[in-house]
Every structure is written in C-alpha cells, then in structure tokens.
C-alpha cells in the first residue's frame, strides 16, 4: 500500500550515537511523484476563461535579501527572526505582481511557494491577495511547477536567484552544480520555462539580482525582468528599497501580461527527445548513497565525472519529476 509503509522498515541498522538516514524511496510517499494527479487537481480548481498567471515565489532574489544562513531560514532551522520580515517581503512582492498582472488583463492567479526554507510555507496566506490560489507545503510534485498545465497563460517568478556557479546572491540550482537540456544551461527559472514551454505556456517575468535577470533573459529571450539589487558577491549587494521594487514589479507584470496577450512572448521550446545532463553538487556527489540512489531515477546513466548523469526523454514533466525525486533524496539526513 503506497504511502502507508513505515519508514522504519526501510532504515538501516544504526549504531548508538549515529543519526539514521531516511531511505524511504520517493514513490513510497504520496505527493512526491504524483505530478499527473496534481495537474488534474489544479485544473479542476481553475476557470477556463480569462488569462491565468502562474507565479513561482522564491526568496533569495527578494529586495534586501543577501545572506542565506540568516534571512532565508526560520529560527527553528538555525536562522534569525529577520526571516519573518522576509516572508512579509515575499508576500508583498507577490501581491505587487498580482496587482500589475491584473491591471494588464490577467483574471486568475496561481501562486506556488517555491522556497524550501520552511518546507515551502513562506508566503503569508492571510496577507496574500484574496483572489489568488496558493500552493504551499511539502512534499509536492515537481516542487516549483506543481500542477502547471496548459490552462495557464503565462509563467512568472519572483525573488529568483542566479544559476549555480555564478557570482549572484545565494546562487544555486536545485541540487546541481550544472543542469543542461540539449546542451543549453538552465537555471531554476529556465527549468520552469522548459516544463511550461512544452505545454505552450510562455515565461513572462523574472525578478532578482542583476546576475539572475541577465542570465534569464539570455536563456529565455526578451521577457520582462526586474533587477532589485546589484550583486557585489554571493552575500553582498547594492539593494533597492522595497517600496520602489514593488512599483517596478507592478509595472513589469502589467507590461508582461499585455505583451503576452499581444502574442509577443513565446514559449521556450527544445527539440525532442530531450538530452538532459546534470551534475550533483559536490557535497552530494561525494555521498555514495545519494549518488547511487539518484542514478536509479528516470533511466539516468553515469556521464563523465563523479555525480554526473544523463537521461533522454520526450517529456519535460518527466524531467521535472526526476528533479523532484532528487530533491526528496538529498534533503534527507
């Protein structure tokens, strides 16, 4: 019976003083791999008319955010009280985007809480625009694109960060040091655009530091971007005041929807089958259990350096599901 097996039955013998590693496979827990069901359920919540915007809410690219260890983590995970202020800022930035998109003609708003600092429970529901539908909590299939479907008319990301290995603020890319599709490097925004693009959903807007906006525009073309800070290092930047950022987000979201409705912004597409290559972060790649477990997902095969894998598929959503299986694996102690 799926989801009902005791995780304890799957754990190895643990010696006194050791911490048990949770080895529960992703397909044994309901909600990790059920991406098709999630899509069907979200479609049932949506209305077929009007213009629907799907907003991914991350946090590293928020106005003023510069340090992961304090601002992006709650106190119970070793962070500081400032994290609560950045939850407010996240909600304010999402609301600014919704207001702008509405001014541009959008009529329906889906917000996916895409930051793992509090297990995807960062947006403040009681402060969110009352017309928005909020996806929050964990596990959830294809974490940053849960339920994404062809009824969506445009994708946006707020508070995004630059790609792994870049000089951006708190730069990373899921659990990877590198991720490519058909040889093209994608960041987290690019991966969402890849999944949405297969459905005919264009990517409209991205906000974050100057590194994020430049690399995302290079990947996705002339989308709307909002640069909220200029990175001086991975943990220092010249930042804009939140009130100014909110105005910029509103205006950019309004332009983005108007441009999408006019047919100016197109979906990101790749020729199928998709040749995906990924390399785990070095810390994960050195962990034999993580490395060997990840190598069993999605028909992946070792490719080059330790912790690097390749897969070929004709489904972008299947790629997203593999990414989710990997996240499930590496987040375990």
At 250-291, the pLDDT tens digits run 999 999 999 999 999 999 999 999 999 999 999 999 999 999
**Predicted local distance difference test score (pLDDT) of residue 13:** 45
The confidence score (pLDDT) of residue 79 equals 84
Of 200, 205, 198, nearest in space to 257 by CA:
205
- Counting beta carbons within 10 angstroms of the beta carbon of residue 46, is it exposed (0 to 12), middle (13 to 18) or buried (19 or more)? middle
Q: Is the pTM of this model over 0.75?
A: yes
Spatial distance between the Cα atoms of 258 and 265, rounded to a whole number of angstroms: 10
Looking at residue 261, what is its pLDDT?
Answer: 98
CA distance 185 to 309: 15
Q: Tokens 């809480």, residue? A: 113
Domain 35-176+184-261 has CATH 3.40.50.720: no
The pLDDT assigned to 73 comes to 87
Q: What are phi and psi of 232, to 5 degrees?
A: -100, -20
Measured distance CA(106)–CA(53) in Å, rounded: 7
- The domain locations on the chain are 35-176+184-261
How many H-runs (helices) and E-runs (strands) does the chain carry?
A: 9, 12
Are the beta carbons of 7 and 22 closer than 8 angstroms?
Answer: yes
Confidence (pLDDT) at 16: 54
Rounded CA-CA distance 68/135 in Å is 23
Q: Which residues contact 102 (CB under 8 A, 6 or more apart)?
A: 109
CB 37 within 8 A of CB 93: no
Residue 180 has a pLDDT of 98
- Low-confidence stretches of the chain (pLDDT < 50) are 1-15
Q: What are the residue ranges of helices labelled H in 130-172?
A: none
The CA distance from 56 to 70, in Å, is 22
| pLDDT tens digits, 32-86 | 999 999 999 999 999 999 999 999 999 999 999 999 988 888 888 888 898 999 9
């Amino acid at each position: 019976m799926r989801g009902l097996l005791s995780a304890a039955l799957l754990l190895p013998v643990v010696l006194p003083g050791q911490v048990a590693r949770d080895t529960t496979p992703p397909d044994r827990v309901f909600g990790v791999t059920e991406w098709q069901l999630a899509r069907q359920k979200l479609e049932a919540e949506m209305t077929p008319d009007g213009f629907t915007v799907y907003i991914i809410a991350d946090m590293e690219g928020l106005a003023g955010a510069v340090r992961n260890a304090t601002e992006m983590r709650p106190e119970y995970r070793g962070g500081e009280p400032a994290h609560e202020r950045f939850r407010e800022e996240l909600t304010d930035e999402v609301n600014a985007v919704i207001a702008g998109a509405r001014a541009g003609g959008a009529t329906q708003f889906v917000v996916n809480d895409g930051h793992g600092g509090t297990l995807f429970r960062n947006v403040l529901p009681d402060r969110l625009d009352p017309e928005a539908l909020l996806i929050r909590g964990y596990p959830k299939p294809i974490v940053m694109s849960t339920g994404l479907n062809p009824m969506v008319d445009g994708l946006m990301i707020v508070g995004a960060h630059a790609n792994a290995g870049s000089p951006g603020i708190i730069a990373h890319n899921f659990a990877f040091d590198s991720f490519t599709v058909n040889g093209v490097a994608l960041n987290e925004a690019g991966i969402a655009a890849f999944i949405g693009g297969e459905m005919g959903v264009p990517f409209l807007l991205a906000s974050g530091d100057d590194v994020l906006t430049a690399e995302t525009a290079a990947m996705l073309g002339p989308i709307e971007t909002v640069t909220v800070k200029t990175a001086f290092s991975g943990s220092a930047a010249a930042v804009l005041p939140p009130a100014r950022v909110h105005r910029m987000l509103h205006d950019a979201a309004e332009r983005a929807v108007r441009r999408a409705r006019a047919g100016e912004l197109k979906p990101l597409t790749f020729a199928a089958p998709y040749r995906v290559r990924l390399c785990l972060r070095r810390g994960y790649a050195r962990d034999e259990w993580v490395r060997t477990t990840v190598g069993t997902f999605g028909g992946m095969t070792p490719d080059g350096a330790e912790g690097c894998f390749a897969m070929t598929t004709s489904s972008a959503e299947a790629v997203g599901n593999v990414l989710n299986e990997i996240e499930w694996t590496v987040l375990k102690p």
